[in-house]
Amino acid sequence: MLSITRVQGSTDLFRSLATQRAAAVAPVAAAAASSADSVTISAAAREAQKNDAAAKTTGIPLPQAVREWFTKDFPADVIDEAMSRLAANKAQGVLGGDGPLGLPLLPENQALLDGFREEMRSLSANGHANMDSEQSARFNLLMNLGMRVQMVGWKAPMSEADVQREFDVSNAMARLGHENPDLLPEASVESPLDTKIIDINAQSVPSVWQERWAAAGLEMPETTISPQRSLWLQMATAAGFSEDEFMTTVRDLGQRLAGHELTRAVESLISVRYGELLAEEESA
């Protein structure tokens, strides 16, 4: 069985080529021998020992099918898009570069995600350990495509090919950044997780987002955040939007804008509506 591999972001993809979080490889069995014994080690055994030692020092290598996600010959349009996003992140930072994430999916894309999950259940019906290499490769791909749907599936209806292209762009960004670190923004002191993940204990918007809004002169709605719901939708609701109105407006923006520009437009949209709400409350 191949290990289960979840790719979460372009910044750490090639780091995982050296250290993989997935299931550990079973160790090579070796017969015990006392120091007094004379032991002849075959060439195959020596090679196994060498590989085992290498795994302990460099980490478990990614399955070949997963490595091919990054080493494949990407089409020119994918490389161009990856270079464009890298340039935007270099100039403006990674925060906000993906646009607003985790918004409610369109029904078509929810159906696509459900289909991925159903196929994954079918592939692993007899247990992950019993999947062959082809099944494991497909399972890993579906898991990562599913994550990509959840990130961007709010914008417009997507096919599996559309999701694959988004995944390819992310992987191409990782490879290009690995090959040429000058394409990447300077390392930030904040943990990458701090930029996207809600502090469940505090139930608050991550501090990096609060600081970003304050620096831009934007008014962030005061609300208690639930990690089970979209951060953006919760802020929009607190600002006075209904879900339907907000999603209709944001999807319209998503047809014209992308990346940092889209994120800033959505932030401004929420801030302006919240300012209007506060003004109405003061005048009441």
The pLDDT score that the predictor gives to residue 49 is 53
Alpha helices (H) in the chain, listed in sequence order = 43-58, 64-71, 76-92, 107-123, 133-152, 160-179, 207-215, 231-239, 243-256, 259-283
The pLDDT score that the predictor gives to residue 108 is 98
The pLDDT score that the predictor gives to residue 46 is 53
What pTM, to 2 d.p., does this model score? 0.74
The pLDDT score that the predictor gives to residue 203 is 75
Report how far residue 243's alpha carbon sits from residue 259's, in angstroms, rounded to the nearest whole number: 22
Report how far residue 18's alpha carbon sits from residue 31's, in angstroms, rounded to the nearest whole number: 29
The answer to whether residues 208 and 190 touch, using CB atoms and an 8 Å cutoff, is yes
For 3-16, b/e burial (b = at least 16 CB within 10 A) is bbbebebbbebbeb
Taking each helix axis as running N to C, give the angle between helix 231-239 and helix 243-256, from 0 to 180 degrees, rounded to the nearest 10.
Answer: 120
The pLDDT score that the predictor gives to residue 226 is 85
- Mean pLDDT for each 10-residue chunk of the chain (284 residues)? 51 40 35 40 51 50 84 96 96 93 95 98 94 94 96 96 97 96 76 47 81 96 86 95 97 95 98 96 87
End-to-end CA distance of the chain: 65
